[in-house]
Structures are given as structure tokens and as C-alpha cells.
Amino acid sequence: MTMKKLLSPPSCALSSLLACLFLAVCVPASAQKSLPKTVAPPPPILLGTAWYPEQWPESRWPADLELMQKAGIRFVRVGEFAWSKMEPSEGNYQFGWLERAIDEAGQHGIYTVLGTPTAAPPAWLTQKYPETLRTNEDGRKAEHGNRQQFNWDNPKYRELARDIATRMATRFGHNPYVIGWQIDNEYAEVSFDPHTRADFQNWVKQRYGTLDNLNERWTTAYWSQTYSNWNQIPLETKPGNPGLLLSWKRFVSATWVSYQKNQLDAIRQNAAPRQFITTNMMGWFDGYDHYAVAKDLDLAAWDDYVGEGHVNPYKNGSTDDLTRGFKQKNFWIMETQPGHVNWAPINNDLNKGEVRALAWENIGHGADAVSYWQWRSDLNGQEEYHGTLVGADGTPVPLYPEIAQLGQDFAKAGPVLQDTSPKSQVAILHTYPSFWAIDWQRHNKNYDPIDELLSYYQPLKDIAQSVDIVQPTVPLDGYKLVVAPGLNVLTDAAVKNLMSYVNNGGHLILGQRSGMKNVDNGLQTERQPGPLVPLLGGRVDQYYALIHPVPVDGQFGANTSKLWAELLSTNSPDTQVLATYGKSNGWLDGKPAIITRKVGKGSITYVGVWMDDAGMAKLAKWMTAMSGVTPAFGPVPAGVEVDPRYSKDRTVYVLINWASTPQTVTLPAAMQNVLEGGSVQSVTLPQYGVSVLSEEKK
């Protein structure tokens, strides 16, 4: 039987965004006469790959698509680097090949996510319009021959980018096989040209209004930095005035927002509402404020690459949670590595079974799609050595059967996972200004703000089994415990929200370096934690970067503080000292290291130490016990990850064994084994083993 067929109805509809939008899709007859007027909605959980039909003869497409279909791949991302194929010369638009590729994929049961091709402008464009090339910080112009050579702030480039996005949306905005759009690809590179500098100066003027206001808030009297004209303000990315540095990052973020909106508006004006719009972000990449950029998108997506080594389930899982927090809903993995990459110092392959386990971790944390980069090895180009699912000869690589197993997994589990999403009792607070502020002034070269967050995340994840990572300004009342490691830049809005949370019975933990800076990255006039000092009934008297760990003792036993220590004091009789420092530098000896205060039914705690792993585990146990946080699933052996997803009528647990030996998990109640069938009371998982368990709500 031929594999070629029209999209057939899956066993269930896509949750939330897509399900209700595919009921009746009309295709303009003038544009696409051969296409069906309606197709079935995509399944709830999708397996995908990045496909580059422009690199291969059309005669090869059916063979590739049949191999995709056999593996259970249900969508391809197409077009994000194909501008020179879509518009080989200015005004000469060639979309016929793309329409044929989309149609051919649809005939094989495969949907399409269309990428706008603006991350890789064609040579004719940058040659004719050299002003569209970005300028490096050293003043040199980028050149053709790579990608991301464009200037994201240049008006001419935006005009050309909007034009190609408009023409694509006009052609494919009602194509029944196109389910969504990816704008550009991995936003990253910025420009330091005179036009961008003038725009930055104008942005600063709009934000601060007067030079007197700016000079006061940036404390420019320091080192005679005072500005008497807006055009004196430089572009500064290296250590310098903290207010200037933070303003530049905010400008970069705002410019990416407007760059994205330029294309997003063009698509929305010409495409069916059922087609979602996203872009592919890069996890903990700190080039811009991801919350700001995600705001206008329909869903968030990120590119999940391990690089050298193997999966760190806490680091990777936290990145999923970070991305889910951008819009506080399920997300997509738009790219992930099929075995190995080509850009790491050592491009080792993930172990057999590890790729499948990684994909299921993504799903457990709220991904509704996982897509592999890329389908087939390039015959030339900068990424010849990157992992793929099919080799240069067109035959499957050894990883292909593991991907095919995922295809079977997703088909089985999709109906059960439909309309489910993670829901946590614990939130960790994160902002990009705080991340940047600490990273610019680490004070200890080893003080990594991501590592700080993970030092709290890992033991909390082990106990609660589900953690949200969100901004401090989102509604917090639904959380039993809110933890803020390194909330360095504390805005008025965040202060108001945190105080309301505690006063209404919430339990707030402030980690080291919290509340040190104001909205302009200047020191708070109060000591840490700034405006929260009265609520805490205590403060940070001094901070110390450490060469050697210092001892800490108290309610959490004997531990050590590495890298950093803050000397705390109390000014309220009901503020309790939970831990004190041992003998070290004299200043810290016997002084408070962790303090807490009850506020009505709530509490606020300040942790001034970065304890070792054992100490953080004990701290997490105390935090969850005093706030009433309970495990979502129940106790499991070490090395087994539990990821719950909830709907109104069921809870689905994804269990993954990252330990090197098999682990047996006793279930808290009988559950349905989704992948293997039947009702079970326990499961045994080999290394990288996965079990999906469903429990109906009573």
C-alpha cells in the first residue's frame, strides 16, 4: 500500500489553540485551486523535523516524505533560510516550488510550519542595499556568506522583510496544510551603526524625558559621565555605567519586539486566525528580554541543544519551564538535536535511548511538539557534520528507529495528553534585568546567575516534581511557595505584587543578592532587600565574595557557603534566625545567614548564603514543609524524574529514568500505562526508560 494519502482525521483534536480553528478552512480558489478546502486538525502532540526541499531535486521529495511518514513525523518546518529561492532577484517571486513542497507533504499526512526567511537575506539584497548589513561592535560591516548578517534596526531591511512576509502570507495564509509560522530564526545579532545609535539615543530620550532626569537616575556625576546632549550617549556593552548597560539591553529587546511585529502584523493581516505565529528562542540565551518578545506571539518555542556531553535533566527541564513561563502556557520545541551537533568542542552523540528520553522530558514539561534539526545531511554548507535523521545518501541513520519509536509514542499518548498542561505549587521568579545586572557585576567570577537559580530549582523539583519559572509581576496567589533567587533588580510593580502575595498568606523566599538594585540598575537607597526590608524585619548589612567556602550552621545542619555570603541582621522581635555563619573572616563569625518572619498566615525568608548541594536540599525540604507543598506523584527512586500534566478530568505523569541502573517505581494508585497498555501498580524503567501514566479524576 502506498504511503501517500490525504491527511486523515486523528483520534483526537489539537488542544487549546489549534483544535477549534481547523473546523472549516476555506482556500482561495484563485491561489490554490488544487488543494482541498478542509483538512483534519493536527494531533495533540506532534513530532516534526526541519526540511529543506530547496536543497534537493523535487524528484527526491516523495522518498523523503515517505520516510518521514513511516517515522510518524507529522509536521515539517520549511522556508526559514530560503529567501534566495523565493526571490532569486528583486521582485522576482518564485513560490511555486514551495507550494508544491507543502502540498506534497500534506499528501503524506504532514503539516507545515512556514518560516519567514529573514535570518538569511540573499546576496542581491545586501549588495544592492549595503545599509541593510549590520555593523559589528568594532565598526566592521558583516558580509554575505553566513547568516544573520542583516541589521535588525534598518528601515530598508524592515521594508524588504515585511514585503517577503506579506507575499508569503498572501500565498499561504489560507493553505489548509500550513498550521503556523515561525518569524525569522534564533534572534541574536545586533548592529552598532550610526542609525542604531541615533535610535538608541531617541529611545533613551523617550524613556527619561530630560537629561537632568537621566543624569540623576544613572548617577552620571560619577567619573564626569554627565550628559549635556542626547547625542553624547554611547552604545555600551562592556562593563560600564549600570544604568546605561541596562538601557541598552532594554532597547535591544524593544527593537527585537518591533522587528518581529513588522512581520507579525503582515502575516496576521493576510493569514487565517487558525495559523499560529511563533519564533524559535534559545533557552537561557540572554541577548534580549524573552518575556517582552514573547508577548505578541501565539505560543513560545525554543531550540533544545545539549552540545557536548549528555542531558542534564535539571538544566534542560528548567529551560522548558522557563519557556513555558514566557506566556504561562504550553510551548513547542522547534529544534532539537538528533544525536549530535557540529559546533561543540566535542560533538559526541547522545546515548541510545537518550534522544527519546529528552523528547519526553520536553513533553512532560509542557511541550506539545518536538522537532528535529535537521532531516537530511547537507551536501555542503557550514553544518555538514551536524546530526540528522537521514544521511546524505537519503537512507536513515542509526537514530532513525528511535525517532520512529517516538512517532509511535506520540500517536498513542496524544489523545491522553490532549488539553493537559503542567500546574505547579512552586514558582521560581526570574527577570532578565536581574540576570544581566548580576552577570555584569558578578563580584566573584564564578557567580553564574543561572547556576544560582538551578541551586534552588533542583531540590525543589525533586520534592514538588513540578516548578514554574515566571516573572515577579504575574499573579502569584495560586502558589504555595514562591522563591526568588537573585531577584537583583526590584521594580515597584514587583514589590507591590510580592508584598500582596505575602500579606495574603503566601510564603516568599528571597535568595542571595535579591533586592539590591532599582529599576535603573542603581543601588536601592535601603540595604537589601530594598523596599522589602520592613516586611522582612531585617536586612543585609554587607555582602562578601568568597575565595574559600565559609561554614554555616543552624536549622539545616552544618553546611558551607560557596562563592558568596551576606551578613544579615534583624530589626524586628519576631524575625527568626534560622542559620548563622561559623568562624571565617571575622566579619561573618556568628552572624545571621538565613532569617525568616511570619506575616499573618504567610511568611518572608531571606537566604544570604549559597550553600552546598546538601544544604540546599535541606533548605528545600524546610521550604516545602512549612508552605505545605506536596509531591505531585509521590516518592520515587533517585534518578527518576516525574513530570505531571493536568486537565479537568485527568492527570498524566511522565516518568523518566536518568539513572544508570534500572529503577522500579511503586505507584500511589493503579494507573493506566499509556504506552504499553493495561492498568499497573508499578513500573520498572531501564536507563532512559519512559513511562506515561494516566489517572482519571474521581
Mean pLDDT of 185-205: 98
pLDDT at 302 over 70: yes
Q: What is the pLDDT of residue 27?
A: 38
Residue 182 in any domain: the answer is: no
- Tell me, yes or no, whether 65 lies in a domain: no
Choose the catalytic residue: 104, 335, 566, 641. Answer: 335
Task: Report the alpha-carbon distance of residue 450 to residue 233 in Å, rounded.
Answer: 31
Q: Which residue has the cell 528571597?
A: 510
- Dump pLDDT digits (tens) for 81-102: 999 999 999 999 999 999 999 9
Average pLDDT over residues 410-423: 98
Residue in 497, 323, 283 with CA at minimum distance from that of residue 421: 323
Mean pLDDT of 115-144: 96
Distance, in Å, from the CA atom of 504 to the CA atom of 122, rounded to the nearest integer, reads: 57
pLDDT score for 645: 98
Asked, for residue 527, whether it belongs to a domain, the answer is yes
In a domain, 262, yes or no: no
* Bridge partners, residue 114, by sequence: 78, 181
User: In this structure, what C-alpha cell is assigned to residue 26?
Assistant: 476555506
Domain endpoint, select from 589, 605, 627: 627
Cα–Cα distance measured from residue 304 to residue 87, given in angstroms and rounded to the nearest whole number: 31
589 and 506 in a common domain: yes
CB 569 within 8 A of CB 587: no
DSSP character for 463?
Answer: H
In 496-586, where do the E strands start and end?
507-510, 538-545, 550-554, 559-570, 575-581
> Is position 131 annotated as part of the catalytic site?
no
Average pLDDT over every residue of 672-685: 97
- Whether residue 540 is found in the same domain as residue 576: yes
pLDDT tens, residue by residue, 599-635? 999 999 999 999 999 999 999 999 999 999 999 999 9
Helix (H) or strand (E) holding 126: helix 123-128
The pLDDT mean for the chain works out to 94
Which range, of 21-30, 406-415, 426-435, 512-521, averages the lowest pLDDT?
21-30
Confidence of residue 382 (pLDDT cuts 50, 70, 90): confident
Same domain, 436 and 577: yes
Angle subtended at Cα 501 by Cα 495 and Cα 504, rounded to the nearest 5 degrees: 135
Q: What is the mean pLDDT of residues 21-38?
A: 48
Domain count, the chain: 3
Residue 586 lies in a domain: yes
Pairing outcome for strands 609-611 and 538-545: unpaired
Residue 612 lies in a domain: yes
Same domain, 573 and 501: yes
In a domain, 670, yes or no: yes
Q: In this predicted structure, what is the pLDDT of residue 14?
A: 37
Is 241 or 145 the better-scoring residue by pLDDT? Answer: 241
Residues 47 and 334: beta-carbon distance below 8 Å: no
Closest CA to 520 of 594, 458, 436: 436
Same domain, 662 and 605: no
Give a yes or no: residue 493 inside a domain.
yes
Q: Taking CA 326 as the corner, what is the angle to CA 692 and CA 159, rounded to the nearest 5 degrees?
A: 125
Which residue pairs, CB below 8 angstroms and at least 24 apart, start in 394-399? 394/60, 394/63, 394/64, 396/67, 397/338, 397/339, 399/338, 399/339, 399/355
pLDDT over 70 percentage in the chain: 95
Q: Could you tell me if 471 and 615 lie in one domain?
A: yes
- Mean pLDDT for the stretch of residues 649-653: 97
Q: Are residues 544 and 687 in the same domain?
A: no
> Which residue stretches of 184-307 are H helix?
194-208, 211-218, 242-268, 290-294
Same domain, residue pair 516 and 575 = yes
With beta carbons less than 8 A apart as the criterion, state whether 332 and 363 touch.
Answer: no
| Joined grid coordinates for residue 534 | 520592613
pLDDT higher than 50, residue 13:
no
What would the DSSP string read from start to end of 142-183? P-SSSS--B-TT-HHHHHHHHHHHHHHHHHHTT-TTEEEEE-
What's the CATH code of the domain at 456? 3.40.50.880
- How many beta carbons lie within 10 A of that of residue 231, not counting itself? 10
Q: Which domain holds residue 552?
A: 426-627
Q: Residue 5 forms beta bridges with which residues? A: 108
CATH number at residue 690: 2.60.40.1180
Mean pLDDT of the 393-409 span: 97
Q: Which of 579, 602, 627 is a domain's end point? A: 627
Single out the residue of 459, 431, 98 nearest to residue 253, CA to CA: 431
* pLDDT tens-digit series, residues 34-64: 677 788 999 999 999 999 999 999 999 999 9
pLDDT of 32 higher than 70? no
User: Catalytic pick from 186, 361, 452, 641?
Assistant: 186
Q: Which of 572, 599, 627 is the C-terminal boundary of a domain? A: 627
Band of residue 67 on the pLDDT scale cut at 50, 70, 90:
very high
- Whether residue 186 lies in the annotated active site: yes
pLDDT given at position 23: 32
Grid look-up 529567501 returns: 83
Same domain, 587 and 461: yes
Q: Per the structure block, which three cell numbers stand in for 526?
A: 535601603
Weakest-pLDDT range from 1-10, 125-134, 362-371, 507-516: 1-10
In this predicted structure, the answer to whether residue 440 has a pLDDT above a threshold of 90 is: yes
C-alpha cell recorded at residue 601:
498566615
Q: Rounded to the nearest 5°, which phi and psi values hold at 45?
A: -120, 125
Is the pLDDT at 556 greater than 70? The verdict is yes
- Looking at the structure, tell me whether residues 439 and 538 fall in a common domain: yes
Residue with cell 546605561: 244
**What pLDDT is recorded for position 154?**
98
| DSSP symbol at 120 | S
In the β-sheet with 276-278, what is the strand arrangement from edge to edge?
276-278, 178-182, 111-115, 75-78, 46-50, 367-372, 331-336, 301-304, 280-281
Beta strands in 210-365 (DSSP E): 276-278, 280-281, 301-304, 331-336
Same-domain status, 436 and 564 = yes
Amino acid making up residue 354: E
Domain shared by 563 and 681, yes or no: no
Strand segments, DSSP code E, in 471-526 are: 481-484, 507-510
